[in-house]
């Protein structure tokens, strides 16, 4: 798979105002990643924040996703410089950054993801450039990998206008559970307060011409279509572990 072509294709989808649908991996096994990579998603994010996945497992998970033409992304555990370097050097096409609360925080992560002159990330041979074989070709990708900021706290909304103006931001992704938890209404997605917060985020994204995304945690095609109709454009559809949980229960037999 040519990563830079896939990155361009996803950006083109978002520029045209169409939805880019991806998913999530928490189970650290290449067979699971291979199944997810063949499922037709534009991208699949490997979860280093809540999944039990280690950095040394990333190359094999990425290879399995790439077999199906699916771009591997990484949700960072935090936004530390070493986390950005490890994920991207392993071959991620971009990062999803949790708990972004200010423009300054996002700029620091963005710069840590980019090779100079665009950023400050260390330059070297790695799996991302096939250990130097594709060094020159990788230079373009290393200047601007995909960057998605997660909005997961009610206080982040106060700073969202400035966050959305950060150069290089490809999309916002709302984390519904953390956002609702920060409001003292964990998981109560039908709450008027939560709906108001979601609408405020989406409105600011539209005003700043940045695609707004959301995580549809439980697999439900009706809800997915609803979210698309509501204007969400960067959508994570469920998680490998949730797909398994929703299908694994023993059937009721009379």
Question: Can you tell me the distance from the alpha carbon of 204 to that of 211, in angstroms, rounded to the nearest whole number?
Answer: 10
Would you identify the CATH topology of the domain 3-244? TIM Barrel (3.20.20)
Neighbours of 29 (CB within 10 A): 15
Helices (H), 18-102: 30-37, 58-67, 81-89
Q: Which two tokens stand for residue 11?
A: 């950006």
Domain residue ranges of the chain, discontinuous segments joined by +: 3-244
Answer for the pair 96, 88: CB distance below 8 angstroms, yes or no. no
From 184, 218, 217, 180, select the one nearest 201 (Cα to Cα). Answer: 180
Residue 134 is among the residues annotated as catalytic for this protein:
no
* pLDDT tens by residue, the chain, 254 residues: 899 999 999 999 999 999 999 999 999 999 999 999 999 999 999 999 998 899 999 999 999 999 999 999 999 998 788 999 999 999 999 999 999 999 999 999 999 999 999 999 999 999 999 999 999 999 999 999 999 999 999 999 999 999 999 999 999 999 999 999 999 999 999 999 999 999 999 999 999 999 999 999 999 999 999 999 999 999 999 999 999 999 988 888 87
From 242, 243, 230, select the one nearest 19 (Cα to Cα). Answer: 230
Q: Which of 50, 56, 86, 153 is catalytic?
A: 50
């Amino acid at each position: 798979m040519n990563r830079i072509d896939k990155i361009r294709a996803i950006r083109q989808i978002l520029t045209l105002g169409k939805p880019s649908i991806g998913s999530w991996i928490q189970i650290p096994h290449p067979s699971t990643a291979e199944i997810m990579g063949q499922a037709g998603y534009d991208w699949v994010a490997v979860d280093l924040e809540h999944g039990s996945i280690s950095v040394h497992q990333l190359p094999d998970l990425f290879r399995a996703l790439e077999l199906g033409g699916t771009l591997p992304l990484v949700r960072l555990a935090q936004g530390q410089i070493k986390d950005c370097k490890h994920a991207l050097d392993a071959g991620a096409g971009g990062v999803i950054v949790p708990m972004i609360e200010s423009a300054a925080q996002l700029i620091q992560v963005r710069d840590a993801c980019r090779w100079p002159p665009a950023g400050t990330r260390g330059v070297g041979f790695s799996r991302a450039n096939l250990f130097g074989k594709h060094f020159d070709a990788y230079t373009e990708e290393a200047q601007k990998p995909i960057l998605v900021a997660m909005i997961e706290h009610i206080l982040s909304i106060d700073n969202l206008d400035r966050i959305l103006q950060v150069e290089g931001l490809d999309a916002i992704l709302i984390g519904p559970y953390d956002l609702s938890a920060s409001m003292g209404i964990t998981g109560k997605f039908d709450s008027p307060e939560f709906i108001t917060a979601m609408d405020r985020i989406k409105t600011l994204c539209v005003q700043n011409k940045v695609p707004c995304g959301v995580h549809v945690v439980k697999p439900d095609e009706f809800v997915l279509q609803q979210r698309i109709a509501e204007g969400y454009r960067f959508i994570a559809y469920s998680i490998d572990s949730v797909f398994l949980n929703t299908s694994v229960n023993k059937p009721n037999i009379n």
